[in-house]
């Protein structure tokens, strides 16, 4: 290969060289970024996980004053059949000093905004502190003061509407989206 | 080959780090300032391609392993889930499967380059042996990985290969059971194959580090085979070799992408989309294309060699075909490194490459397939039209006397005027003898291009003749057949002949062309690549 | 010289492509140009929709499709994927199933897709009664895998004279000739039988255990009014089976075009940079 003369075009060549290198670098970086994305995205929930499954629950077997835990998307959900006094307490507590203010009415409404039924409270059963499942008021291990739930892990105390009243949890127990299918059955999710 | 380190840490942090862990110095010395021969051609870019291919396989593999389930009831379904439901799962699975083929394509080119330019010769013997070790580990990894999707080919390929281990004398069957974890390929086998498949690439990575270390001790070989003697012979690795590697990588990725996006199943086998069925073997079991040459060598041995049976001979030859590579540095006696200057060796090498490709082709064919024959298949039908047929029986005292007595009887009947004699053995000592006399003896010759076709025509002819005669004598002639197996045998012979006879002898007897003194001297005749 | 040999070697290597099969008197598949053939082919979603109908009414009586779930029909690239498309006349967003070529729409998540939900709910899936725990059936959900016609392999064989109807999820990839082969089989019955088997021009060994699944025209009623001739049904179900085996094909091909263009540009740039780096250096 015949060699070119030692370059006498000095800065012109230097600019051209720089341009080529910058162009290559830029295109390669864009490509590398695009190539990395699938590896990151593949850890996001897959299509089968994303297709939200729904859980249907028959409420007719839950007596007043008791609750069941249903499973929705792999997580527990409290379905509490509240007594009238629990409902009354919840309504009164609307005006108490709340870390995470929210009215009881808002917490019982259905997924599409329609009004719920005051005796039915459907909440995600994970403490908003670090995720343990709190104990209901009628459980032998219950040590709370507000008639709702008590989390044995770090002492978070929830009232009859599932609102945080004392303890380290920052937020109220999260609402699970649900819809009444009939008077006695709901679909969660 | 590299002189004292030229790295100078510029900032406070790099000076601090350099005193404690000179890793940047190592990277600088090995991949930036590293003196590289200036005349390296594109055949030298495949090493970088291989390193990247290994990284791609590991990264895609780790990510696939997040979704793959190594249980026989779930493996196939989990791969389908990856292809359908996992975000970009179809792309990752395709990259991994096609990536294995690209990995082997690059490694074969890399090895052929080493053979041609004498990169295995002193002082690079250990470098070469480490490379052979990497290659052997790659084969093991690929075999283990192919089992994981649990398709028909996965299962039966694993069965055949673990059966091969049974050919090892004395301890063969014990090893077989130990590897499989049972009497057949089953749940324990799949689980352990997955574990080992995950492990081996990291072992390969470790050996690659040693390989690059050994390389940097001796320095790169180059197309002239003459060692670099001065600074004029070399350039800094970065940017000169780096940018050349990058161009080659671009072309590599283009080929890779064509397969991934437009021909994702072209390199695989349709039978592997059928879930594994231990009760039913597919009509033919073939490994992936990169293992076909070894499959051909294995199947070429359809004859016993003295006390060694054909199965053991085939297995032994297959392992020897890789084993011979390990001792290559000591087989080749030539003092000239690069075949660029060894014209006879160069032709032998070209034939060798053709032989390897031919073996690959044979491995994918039906071993009995006929490539050429010395003449047509033929059969001669003899029958007697008209005349009378007698039936008599033959009894001998001892079964071992039967053939002799039958032959004698046939000879005496013919001598006595019979036109055709047919002796059908009924039992160990008895036979029925049909004798035709007094008619017209006829023969008919039938030819055909295949044995199946011949049988069809014989059947048709017999049906036509049957009303006119009592029995028909058929003599079949099979011409000499040049089958795929015969071709494999020839090619296997050359494969070993090249390493064990040609290379040792050529080195001593060949007159090489004049080798240049240094790399830097301009090479006038640039035709030799 | 090596360069010339290299080119010859690569050319020879390129010929070592396919593996030769000993053909068993079966004819090679009938040539037919599907819309998805070729590197830039795409799915004719109307055909895939019709093919799904043929599958569910004819084939699903014997053939499972274990690896597909009903929701896949409604995901992006699926035959019943729903899009909100702006109506050009009145500017309203309307829901369209299967996006016509050239139109853009906002994809609606499969969980809000009523068509797919209806398809799933029309099927009864075996499950345990949530109160008593006993085996019963319930209406399908979009997350269910396609309903299996038989509980297990033994039941399948018992109902089909000992032969197992293969799962159709990836049949397009599991046979040489793919859906060209499948379509040929469906149309290749000669009418002769031998024992419990049926003669078919395209099946290896010529006698197949499957009775002709499309013996006459008009076995299904297409919603879009297409006449359901035997050829039409066979072609449509072939389209569906190809989609079922390779639902991401269109995404794969379009990404392939983008990637290749990018790589060609990048490699060209790299080559220019290479020339620039080596300018003036002995090579």
Lowest-confidence region among B167-171, B392-396, B522-526, C168-172: B522-526
H runs (alpha helix) in B32-151 = 46-65, 75-84, 89-117, 125-147
Q: Which residues pair with A80 in a beta bridge?
A: A67, A121
Contacts of B107 (CB under 8 A, 6+ apart): B46, B50, B134, B135, B138
d(CA B42, CA B37): 13
Q: Answer yes or no: are the C-beta atoms of C52 and C79 closer than 8 Å.
A: yes
d(CA A50, CA B244): 45
Q: Answer yes or no: are the C-beta atoms of A3 and C280 closer than 8 Å.
A: yes
Q: What is the pLDDT of residue C247?
A: 96
Instruction: Please say if the pLDDT value at position B518 is more than 90.
Output: no
Closest CA to B526 of A38, A40, C37, C3: C3
Q: What is the pLDDT of residue A8?
A: 53
Q: What is the pLDDT of residue B474?
A: 87
Residue showing tokens 């003599």: B475
Residue C150 tokens, joined? 């038989």
Q: Give how far the C-alpha of residue B130 lies from the chain's centroid of Cα atoms, to the nearest Å.
A: 21
Q: Answer yes or no: are the C-beta atoms of C149 and C62 closer than 8 Å.
A: yes
Report ipTM (2 d.p.): 0.88
Residue C65 φ then ψ, to 5°:
-145, 65
Give the tens place of pLDDT for each residue, A71-119: 888 899 999 999 999 999 999 988 888 999 999 999 999 988 899 999 9
d(CA C270, CA B501): 44
Tell which CATH architecture fits domain B286-374+482-510.
Answer: Orthogonal Bundle (1.10)
Q: What is the pLDDT of residue B392?
A: 87
Query: In A, which residues are within 8 Å of C276 by CB distance?
Result: 16-17, 20-21
Q: What is the pLDDT of residue B529?
A: 44
Q: Answer yes or no: are the C-beta atoms of B301 and B310 closer than 8 Å.
A: yes
Maximum distance among all Cα pairs of chain A, rounded to whole angstroms = 99
Q: Give how far the C-alpha of residue A4 lies from the chain's centroid of Cα atoms, to the nearest Å.
A: 67
Count H helices, E strands: chain B? 18, 10
**Cα within 13 Å of Cα(B401), Cβ side:** 10
Within C112-255, strands assigned E span 124-128, 135-139, 189-194, 197-200, 207-208
Query: In C, which residues are within 8 Å of B283 by CB distance?
Result: 21, 204
End-to-end CA distance of chain B: 25
Maximum distance among all Cα pairs of chain B, rounded to whole angstroms = 117
Touching B: C residues 172-201, CB under 8 Å: 173-176
> What domains can be seen in chain C, in order of their start residue?
42-247 (1.10.760.10)
Q: Answer yes or no: are the C-beta atoms of B383 and B354 closer than 8 Å.
A: no
Q: What is the pLDDT of residue A38?
A: 94
Q: Answer yes or no: are the C-beta atoms of B118 and B337 closer than 8 Å.
A: yes
d(CA B325, CA B407): 56
Q: What is the pLDDT of residue B183?
A: 87
Q: Mutual orientation of helices B292-300 and B343-363 as an angle, nearest 10°?
A: 80
CA distance C218 to chain B (A): 32
B430-439 average pLDDT score: 85
Q: What is the pLDDT along chain C (283 residues), one digit of tens a residue?
A: 556 655 554 554 444 433 333 334 789 999 999 999 999 999 999 999 999 999 999 999 999 999 999 999 999 889 999 888 777 766 566 666 766 666 777 888 888 888 898 999 999 999 998 778 999 999 998 999 999 999 999 999 999 989 999 999 999 999 999 999 999 999 999 999 999 999 999 999 899 999 999 999 999 999 889 999 999 999 999 999 999 999 999 999 999 999 999 999 999 999 999 999 998 887 7
pLDDT band at B2 (very low <50, low <70, confident <90, very high): low
CA distance A49 to chain C (A): 9
Q: Is C131 on the interface with A (CB under 8 A)?
A: yes
Query: In C, which residues are within 8 Å of A54 by CB distance?
Result: 141
Query: Do A24 and A115 fall within a single domain?
Result: no
Interface size between B and C, measured as CB pairs under 8 A: 121
Q: Is B467 on the interface with C (CB under 8 A)?
A: no
CATH of residue A158: 2.102.10.10
H runs (alpha helix) in B447-502 = 451-465, 484-497
Contacts of C91 (CB under 8 A, 6+ apart): none
* Tally of domains within chain A: 2
d(CA A28, CA C66): 42
Give the tens place of pLDDT for each residue, B177-199: 999 999 899 999 999 999 999 99
A155 domain-assigned: yes
Domain that holds residue A135: 50-188
Q: What is the pLDDT of residue A2?
A: 46
Are B66 and A43 an interchain contact pair (Cβ–Cβ within 8 Å)? yes
Query: In B, which residues are within 8 Å of A44 by CB distance?
Result: 87
Instruction: Compute the C-alpha angle B480/B482/B484, nearest 5°.
Output: 145
Q: Answer yes or no: are the C-beta atoms of B317 and B492 closer than 8 Å.
A: yes
Lowest-confidence region among A142-151, B425-434, C25-34: B425-434
Give the tens place of pLDDT for each residue, B333-367: 999 999 999 999 999 999 999 999 999 999 999 98
Query: Do A107 and A14 fall within a single domain?
Result: no
Residue A163 φ then ψ, to 5°:
-90, 145
d(CA B459, CA B455): 6
Q: What is the pLDDT of residue C7?
A: 56
Instruction: Please say if the pLDDT value at position A4 is more than 60.
Output: no
Contacts of B269 (CB under 8 A, 6+ apart): B153, B286, B288, C19
d(CA B28, CA B237): 10
Domain ranges of chain B: 1-30, 286-374+482-510, 377-479
Q: Answer yes or no: are the C-beta atoms of B380 and B475 closer than 8 Å.
A: yes
Q: Give how far the C-alpha of residue C50 lies from the chain's centroid of Cα atoms, to the nearest Å.
A: 13
Q: Answer yes or no: are the C-beta atoms of B335 and B507 closer than 8 Å.
A: yes
pLDDT band at B140 (very low <50, low <70, confident <90, very high): very high
Instruction: Please say if the pLDDT value at position B404 is more than 90.
Output: no
Touching A: C residues 51-70, CB under 8 Å: 69
Contacts of C242 (CB under 8 A, 6+ apart): C34, C36, C43, C172, C178, C179, C249
Residue C258 tokens, joined? 């983008």
The answer to whether the peptide bond before residue B61 is cis (omega within 30 degrees of 0) is no
Touching B: C residues 150-169, CB under 8 Å: 166-167, 169
Are C248 and B244 an interchain contact pair (Cβ–Cβ within 8 Å)? no
Lowest-confidence region among B197-211, B509-523, C107-121: B509-523
Interface size between A and C, measured as CB pairs under 8 A: 54
d(CA B208, CA B51): 8
Residue showing tokens 């343990």: A132
The answer to whether the peptide bond before residue B468 is cis (omega within 30 degrees of 0) is no
Query: In A, which residues are within 8 Å of C132 by CB distance?
Result: none
Q: Answer yes or no: are the C-beta atoms of A107 and A146 closer than 8 Å.
A: no
d(CA C174, CA C181): 11
Q: What is the pLDDT of residue B357?
A: 97
Q: Which residue of A has its CA nearest to B82?
A: A46
Instruction: Please say if the pLDDT value at position A14 is more than 80.
Output: no
Q: Is B350 on the interface with C (CB under 8 A)?
A: yes
**Residues of A identified as active-site:** 154
Enter the DSSP assignment of B7: -
Query: Do A37 and A56 fall within a single domain?
Result: no
When scoring A33, A51, A54 by the number of chain C Cβ atoms within 10 A, the one with the most, hence best to mutate, is A51
Q: Is C67 on the interface with B (CB under 8 A)?
A: yes
Instruction: Please say if the pLDDT value at position B527 is more than 90.
Output: no
């Amino acid at each position: 290969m015949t060699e070119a003369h030692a370059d006498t075009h000095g800065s012109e060549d230097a600019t051209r060289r720089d341009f080529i290198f910058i162009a290559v670098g830029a295109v390669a970086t864009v490509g590398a970024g695009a190539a990395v994305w699938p590896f990151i995205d593949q850890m996001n929930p897959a299509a089968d996980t994303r297709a939200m499954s729904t859980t249907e629950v028959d409420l007719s077997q839950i007596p007043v004053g008791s609750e069941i835990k249903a499973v929705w998307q792999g997580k527990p959900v409290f379905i509490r059949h509240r007594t009238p006094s629990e409902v009354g307490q919840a309504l009164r507590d609307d005006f108490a000093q709340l870390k995470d203010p929210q009215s009881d009415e808002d917490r019982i409404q259905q997924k599409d905004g329609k009004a719920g039924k005051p005796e039915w409270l459907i909440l995600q059963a994970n403490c908003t502190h670090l995720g343990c499942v709190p104990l209901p008021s009628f459980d032998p291990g219950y040590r709370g003061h507000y008639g709702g739930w008590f989390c044995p892990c770090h002492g978070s105390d929830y009232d009859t509407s599932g609102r945080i009243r004392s303890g380290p949890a920052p937020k109220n127990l999260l609402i699970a989206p649900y819809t009444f299918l009939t008077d006695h059955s709901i679909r969660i999710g | 080959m590299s002189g004292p380190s030229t790295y100078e840490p510029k900032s406070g942090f790099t000076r601090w780090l350099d005193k404690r862990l000179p890793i940047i110095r190592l990277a600088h010395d090995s991949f930036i300032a590293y003196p590289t021969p200036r005349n390296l051609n594109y055949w030298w870019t495949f090493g970088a391609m291989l390193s990247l291919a290994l990284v791609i396989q590991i990264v895609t593999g780790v990510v696939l392993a997040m979704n793959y389930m190594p249980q026989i009831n779930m493996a196939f379904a989990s791969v389908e889930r990856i292809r359908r439901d996992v975000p970009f799962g179809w792309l990752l699975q395709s990259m991994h499967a096609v990536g294995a083929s690209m990995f082997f394509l690059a490694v074969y080119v890399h090895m052929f380059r080493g053979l041609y330019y004498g990169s295995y010769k002193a002082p690079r013997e250990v470098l070469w042996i480490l490379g052979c070790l990497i290659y052997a580990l790659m084969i093991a990894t690929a075999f283990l990985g192919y089992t994981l999707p649990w398709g028909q080919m996965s299962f039966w390929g694993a069965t055949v290969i673990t059966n091969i281990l049974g050919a090892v004398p004395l301890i063969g069957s014990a090893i077989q059971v130990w590897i499989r974890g049972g009497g057949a390929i089953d749940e324990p086998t799949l689980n352990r194959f997955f574990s080992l498949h995950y492990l081996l690439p990291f072992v390969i990575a470790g050996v690659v580090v040693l390989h690059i270390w050994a390389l940097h001790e001796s320095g790169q070989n180059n197309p002239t085979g003459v060692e670099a003697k001065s600074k004029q012979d070399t350039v800094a690795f970065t940017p000169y070799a780096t940018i050349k590697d990058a161009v080659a990588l671009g072309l590599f990725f283009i080929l890779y992408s064509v397969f991934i996006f437009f021909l994702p199943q072209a390199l695989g086998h349709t039978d592997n989309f059928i879930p594994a069925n231990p009760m039913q073997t597919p009509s033919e079991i073939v490994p992936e294309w990169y293992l076909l040459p070894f499959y051909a060598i294995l199947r070429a041995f359809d004859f016993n060699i003295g006390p060694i049976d054909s199965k053991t001979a085939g297995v032994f030859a297959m392992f020897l075909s890789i084993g011979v590579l390990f001792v290559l540095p000591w087989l080749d006696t030539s003092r000239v490194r690069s075949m660029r200057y060894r014209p006879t060796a160069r032709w032998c090498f070209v034939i060798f490459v053709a032989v390897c490709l031919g073996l690959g082709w044979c491995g994918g064919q039906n071993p009995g397939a006929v490539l050429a024959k010395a003449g047509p298949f033929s059969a001669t039908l003899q029958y007697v039209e008209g005349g009378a047929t007698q039936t008599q029986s033959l009894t001998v005292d001892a079964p071992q006397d039967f053939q002799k007595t039958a032959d004698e009887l046939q000879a005496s009947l013919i001598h006595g005027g019979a036109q055709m004699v047919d002796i059908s053995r009924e039992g160990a000592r008895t036979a029925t003898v049909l004798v035709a006399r007094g008619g017209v003896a006829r023969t008919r010759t039938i030819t055909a291009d295949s044995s199946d076709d011949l049988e069809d025509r014989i059947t048709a002819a017999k049906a036509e003749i049957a009303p006119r005669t009592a029995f028909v004598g058929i003599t079949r002639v099979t011409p000499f057949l040049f089958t795929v197996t015969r071709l494999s045998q020839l090619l296997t012979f050359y494969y070993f002949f090249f390493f064990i006879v040609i290379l040792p002898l050529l080195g001593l007897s060949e007159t090489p062309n004049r080798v240049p003194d240094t790399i830097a001297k301009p090479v006038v005749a640039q035709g030799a690549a | 010289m090596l360069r010339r040999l290299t080119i010859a070697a690569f050319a020879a290597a390129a010929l070592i492509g396919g593996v030769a099969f000993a053909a068993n008197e079966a004819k090679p598949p009938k040539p037919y140009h599907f819309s998805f053939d070729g590197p830039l082919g795409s799915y004719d979603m109307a055909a895939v929709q019709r093919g799904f109908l043929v599958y569910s009414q004819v084939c699903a009586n014997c053939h499972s499709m274990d690896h597909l779930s009903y929701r896949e029909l409604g995901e992006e690239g699926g035959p019943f994927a729903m899009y909100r498309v702006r109506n050009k006349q009145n500017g309203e967003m309307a829901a369209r199933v299967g996006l016509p070529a050239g139109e853009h729409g906002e994809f609606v998540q499969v969980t809000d897709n009523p068509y797919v939900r209806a398809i799933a709910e029309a099927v009864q899936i075996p499950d345990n009664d949530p109160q008593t725990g006993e085996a019963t059936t319930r209406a399908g959900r979009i997350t269910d895998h396609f309903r299996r016609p038989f509980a297990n392999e033994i039941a399948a064989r018992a109902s089909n004279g000992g032969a197992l109807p293969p799962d159709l999820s990836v049949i397009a990839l599991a046979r040489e000739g793919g859906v060209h082969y499948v379509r040929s089989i469906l149309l290749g019955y000669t009418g002769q039988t031998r024992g419990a088997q049926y003669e078919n021009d395209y099946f290896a060994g010529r006698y197949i255990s499957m009775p002709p699944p499309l013996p006459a025209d008009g076995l299904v009623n297409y919603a879009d009014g297409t006449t359901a001739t035997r050829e039409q049904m066979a072609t449509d179900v072939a389209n569906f089976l190809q989609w079922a085996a390779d639902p991401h094909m269109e995404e794969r091909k379009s990404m392939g075009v983008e990637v290749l263009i990018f790589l060609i540009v990048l490699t060209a740039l790299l080559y220019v940079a290479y020339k620039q780096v080596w300018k003036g250096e002995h090579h």
